[in-house]
Amino acid sequence: QLQLQESGPGLVKPSETLSLACTVSGGSINTNIYFWGWIRLPPGKGLEWIGSISYSGGTHYNPSLKSRVTMSVDTSKNQFSLNLSSVTAADTAVYYCARVGGGYGLYDAFDIWGQGTMVTVS
């Protein structure tokens, strides 16, 4: 079955760029049915949507982060990526990648999630 796995550094310095990848296994990312998303969970807080991307690279970002976020898709690696620039301690969180399921494009629930990766800004 489809699985997602995040990868990237667990520690990033303030003002630098956080870069994460999500590798999709058990299925292809190259489908026009699904979008793919990033969500984070800061310590002691709730879930925050960062943004979502289609297989063709169409993006939708959270306006609160839009000036610092870039997402991309690499279909040859079956992978999509997140770059968050100019990080501060407030960006410390567990970062999850997830599939937007159901075939309704962007507007659907996240049905499959990666295990998450903790990123600390310090």
Partner 1 sequence: DIVMTQSPDSLAVSLGERATINCKSSQSLLYSSNNKNYLAWYQQKPRQPPKLLIYWASTRESGVPERFSGSGSGTDFTLTIGSLQAEDVAVYYCQQYYDTPITFGQGTRLEIK
* 110 binds partner 1, rule: CB under 8 A: yes
Those residues with Cβ within 8 angstroms of residue 55's Cβ, 6 or more apart along the chain or in another chain: 29, 30, 31, 32, 34, 36, 73, 75
Interface region with partner 1, contact rule CB under 8 A, candidates 17-25, 68-76, 81-89, 102-110 = 102-110
Interface region with partner 1, contact rule CB under 8 A, candidates 9-17, 20-28, 62-70, 81-89 = 62-70
Tell me the DSSP string of 5-43: EEES-SEE-TTS-EEEEEEEESS-S--SS-EEEEEEE-T
Nearest to 80 by CA among 113, 16, 43, 37: 37
For residue 23, how far is the Cα from the chain centroid?
11
* 52 binds partner 1, rule: CB under 8 A: yes
Binds partner 1 by CB under 8 A, chosen from 16, 31, 111, 120? 111
Minimum CB–partner distance for residue 10 and partner 1 (Å)? 15
Binds partner 1 by CB under 8 A, chosen from 5, 55, 60, 78? 60
Minimum CB–partner distance for residue 64 and partner 1 (Å)? 7
Which residues are near partner 1 by CB under 8 A? Answer: 37, 39, 46-49, 52, 60, 62-64, 96, 98, 100-102, 106-111, 113-116
